[in-house]
Structure 1
């Protein structure tokens, strides 16, 4: 009786193990379930965006191009607690209208203002930058990142200056 019961369990265990082995899922690269990967790819198709260049694609020859007269401006010495401004001028030397999406400074003390309307090919535009020196001393170096429909999509401008000490007694803030 014990031998029959043992044999029954042994046969049932082998059948169960064999059934489990038949239900294995196919595994692809990096141990991923191939069926799950294919389902995820089908649910999230790749979108072809003409304004985004990949390494294998050639740049769009018709894309707008921002050509700046200068990409960096040095204010020199700046009086303490003052506000200084500079205007960066550019020309769209590309073949299609230039659309600036955003201009963002690396610090809240620097505020850029840019054209919101398209700049036609051959036309000029201006980006005005205001720097507030309140509470700052010493050498300052701030970047402005412009995001537009150009290739590449970002362009960097830089402003620099040396904020003179205000002569007040006490610790100096940097």
Structure 2
């Protein structure tokens, strides 16, 4: 009987130690995850020359482009991991090679001026040093050509 009590007591103790170790491991993992999430949720430390551009009045049917430049002011090599335009009327191009500290990179936004009227578009840029996207903005007004009235036919 004593042997059975001792065995049950030992099993309960081992089970308690296992649960305790798992709880401590999970708490440590949650702390590491929270720390890395906090780091990634901070804005990127790269320095953009500008984050918006106004094309003003542009001619319909003539695409316009603007190059947004930045300098890597961090202590690590930066890589642009994703660039996404807000619509299909804006094309993008960007520096695809790693940008070392002190070097510069760029993102070019090209707007297809097919439709007349005002436009406000965005380009979201993600880098490897932050999960927070940098939003670049372009705007302007597409001017439609004046349509001349056809002269009346003489009869």
The answer to whether 1:155 aligns with 2:140 is no
What residue is the counterpart of 2:16 in the other structure? Answer: none
The answer to whether 1:141 aligns with 2:135 is no
The answer to whether 1:52 aligns with 2:37 is yes
Structure 1: state its 5+ residue gaps. 1-41, 170-174
CA distance in 1, matches of 2:109, 2:91: 6
Q: CA RMSD in A?
A: 2.8
The answer to whether 1:128 aligns with 2:115 is no
- 1:76-111 residue CA offsets vs partner (Å, 9 max, x unmatched): 001011111111110011111111111101011101
Question: Per residue, is there more strand in 1 or in 2?
Answer: 2
TM-score, normalising length: structure 2: 0.67
TM-score, normalising length: structure 1: 0.60
Size of the aligned set, in residue pairs, is: 120
Question: Per residue, is there more helix in 1 or in 2?
Answer: 2
What residue is the counterpart of 2:52 in the other structure? Answer: 72
What residue is the counterpart of 1:37 in the other structure? Answer: none
- 1:30-84 residue CA offsets vs partner (Å, 9 max, x unmatched): xxxxxxxxxxxx9xx8683875327xx995xxx9622111100000001011111
Runs of 4 or more consecutive aligned structure 1 residues displaced over 6 Å after TM superposition: none
CA distance in 1, matches of 2:125, 2:100: 17
